[in-house]
Amino acid sequence: MQNKNDCYILLDVGGTGIKGCVSDIAGKLTCDYHEYPSKADKTKEEIFDNFYNIIQDLKGDRHLIKLGFAFPGPFDFENGISLMQGLNKYDAILGIPIRAELVKRDEALADTQMLFLHDIEAFALGCFNYGEAANFSNIMCLCIGTGAGSCFIKNGQVIKDSAKGVPENGWIYNTPFRESIIDDYLSVRGLNRLTKTMIGDDIDGYELYSRCIVGDPDAKRVYDVFGELIAEAISPFIAEFKPEVLVLGGNISKSFAFFGGPLRKILNNKNTVIILEENTSIRAMQGLLAELRKL
């Protein structure tokens, strides 16, 4: 029987940091999210101890009944097992069930329901359940950061079937594009490479954005081309899936004012609305919450 002290813990697990927050059983977040180091490059014991310590810190004196993790891939989400290897993150826990390791550290967790979701899927579900996209049926989500993360939602259900107008698993990142794949262009490294080619300086996205703020024409031209690449890359998915709304997340989306022109043009022609989500982690944790409440 549930009581007012019961809680859910929601974790957005990244390669450098882990963000977490707590919800009551009514679905209300009871605190602002906290940030912790991931220790993703440490030993197996250090990584699992870190997960456990974060859970304990967030739980406090509450009774944990459900626990949700949003993880990047590759990952076995059904069984809660990281498949990351050679990425300089979580190599030490390759193939090891996370639930079993947490229960080793606290047998009380054996009674805790655990859910593992792809981080972009969690983000998309958070947008659908808690964001502006809640009023739409056909939704395409795109997060541009380390790579091009994507998810498609139709009538509240995540669509992963290529027969329904989306790529396999709903992932566009490995779709052939120009001289390689989309991920090589719609990403931090893609923007950095474009910047170096067009300007000659090896600068990061923050510096490029800062130059645009003060009116640097060369920096603005880089973003113009980057926006054209985004528009070109996603046009086939817009045409096939026909989303009512495109939700943009990830750090690069914060520069939308400088690259959004070409994207607005193609989406206006398709009557597709653009929604910008500034806090991808909060939406990911809300997506976990929405799915945990169904268990």
Asked if residues 223 and 255 have their Cβ atoms less than 8 Å apart, the reply is yes
Domains 6-121+283-292 and 134-276 share a fold: yes
Eight-state DSSP code of residue 126? H
Q: Across residues 279-283, what is the average pLDDT?
A: 91
In the predicted structure, residue 117 carries a pLDDT above the cut 80: yes
Beta strands in 126-244 (DSSP E): 138-144, 148-154, 157-159, 176-177, 180-181
In the predicted structure, residue 2 carries a pLDDT above the cut 70: no
Pairing of β 148-154 and β 138-144: antiparallel
Eight-state DSSP code of residue 185? T
Q: Tell me the two tokens of residue 161.
A: 């079937």
Q: Tell me the two tokens of residue 223.
A: 């973003």
Higher pLDDT among residues 267 and 100, named by residue: 100
Q: What's the CA gap between 18 and 37, in Å, rounded?
A: 6
Residue 209 has what pLDDT? 92
Note the pTM of the prediction, 2 decimals: 0.93
Can you name the residues that pair with 115 across neighbouring β-strands? 68
In the predicted structure, residue 32 carries a pLDDT above the cut 80: no
Residue 239 has what pLDDT? 92
Q: Across residues 14-37, what is the average pLDDT?
A: 90
Long-range contacts of range 173-179, CB-CB < 8 Å, 24 or more positions apart? 173/147, 173/148, 173/149, 175/233, 177/232, 177/233
Q: Across residues 21-46, what is the average pLDDT?
A: 91
Q: Tell me the two tokens of residue 228.
A: 């054209």
Q: Please report the sign of the dihedral spanned by the C-alpha atoms of residue 167, residue 171, residue 176, residue 178.
A: positive
Residue 251 has what pLDDT? 83
In the predicted structure, residue 12 carries a pLDDT above the cut 60: yes
Residue 7 has what pLDDT? 95
Name the fold adopted by 6-121+283-292: Nucleotidyltransferase; domain 5 (3.30.420)
Residue ranges per structural domain of the chain: 6-121+283-292, 134-276
Pick the most confident of 28-37, 116-125, 161-170: 116-125
Pick from 78, 93, 11, 83: which is nearest to 44 by CA? 93
Residue 26 has what pLDDT? 86
Residue 250 has what pLDDT? 86
- CATH no., domain 134-276: 3.30.420.40
Residue 289 has what pLDDT? 96
Higher pLDDT among residues 278 and 64, named by residue: 64
Q: Tell me the two tokens of residue 74.
A: 């590759």
Integer CA distances (angstroms), 146 to 72, 190, 251, in order: 11, 9, 9
Pairing of β 180-181 and β 176-177: antiparallel
Q: What's the CA gap between 133 and 130, in Å, rounded?
A: 8
Q: What's the CA gap between 271 and 273, in Å, rounded?
A: 7
Measured in degrees and rounded to the nearest 5, phi and psi for residue 78 equal: -65, -40
In the predicted structure, residue 113 carries a pLDDT above the cut 90: yes
Residue 3 has what pLDDT? 80
Integer CA distances (angstroms), 176 to 10, 120, 162, 180, 257, in order: 34, 20, 15, 6, 27
> What 3-state DSSP class applies to 125?
helix
Residue 1 has what pLDDT? 56
Residue 35 has what pLDDT? 95
162-216 pLDDT per residue, tens: 777 799 999 999 999 999 999 999 999 999 999 999 999 888 888 999 999 999 9
